[in-house]
Structure 1
Amino acid sequence: MTDGCGAPAQTASLPATVDLANEAVIQGTVEREGNVVSGAYARLLDATGEFTGEVVTSDEGIFRFFAAPGDWTVRVLAPGGVSIDSTVRAQTGEIANLKVAI
């Protein structure tokens, strides 16, 4: 299932159709005081700060992007007006995992 933007469902495991050898994956969870935050927006910004994509965190607080190799910023916008930026490096064949505490 996909949401309105065409992104795959945000689940804990990669979809079976993903060949990690050919993908650079950025994924993570959003938590507040040890509890997952669903319904937060995770935005992917390129090295120049330009908006690239956005997904909504799942019921488990998970977000995932398939990105080109390089440096990225993930900006999480959560209920209550909270905005947190995290920098990450994506590399083909790897999953860059983030834990965002708000």
Structure 2
Amino acid sequence: MCAAPTQGQAIPAGVDVEKETVITGRVLAGDGQPVGGAFVRLLDRSGEFTAEVVASGTGDFRFFAAPGDWTVRALSPSGNGTAAIRPEANGIHNVDVTVGAA
């Protein structure tokens, strides 16, 4: 069993989004329905693995990162998907990942 933490939508109390870069979003199927339980990976600009979480039952995920170029990859029984995001400053940055047939 993977030790990746399960995610939720709410930002934890005490997190100052003016000082943190938060990448958040949802894993979605092609029809727009949420995909819960997907493994969601954060890759740096060179494609190296940085972190992994398990999407919540509603497909939500969250990473604390730094400004820069990132790739979010979701792996699920419904298929896999990838999305790029480039936060340029601190704050909350949203990106959804659509998964399809593997």
Note whether the superposition's TM-score is higher than 0.5: yes
Higher strand fraction (1 or 2): 1
Q: Which residue in 1 is equivalent to 2:62?
A: 64
Alpha-carbon displacement from aligned partner over 1:35-83 (angstroms, at most 9, x marks no partner): 1111101100000100000000001100100001111000111114x22
Percent identical? 47
Which runs of structure 1 show a deviation greater than 2 angstroms over 4 or more consecutive aligned residues? 90-93
Q: 5+ residue gaps in structure 1? A: none
Task: State the AA in 1 paired with 2:77.
Answer: P
Quick check: 2:72–2:97 contact (8 Å CA) kept in 1?
no
Could you tell me which runs of 5 or more consecutive residues in structure 2 were left unpaired when the two chains were aligned.
none
Q: Tell me the CA shift for residue 92 of structure 1.
A: 3.6
Name the TM-score, length of structure 1 as normaliser.
Answer: 0.85
Separation of aligned partners in 2, 1:43 and 1:23: 19
User: RMSD of the alignment, in Å?
Assistant: 1.7
| Partners of 1:12 and 1:67 in 2: CA distance | 17
In the superposition, the TM-score normalised over structure 2's length comes to: 0.85
Q: Give, in whole Å, the separation in 2 of the partners of 1:92 and 1:54.
A: 22
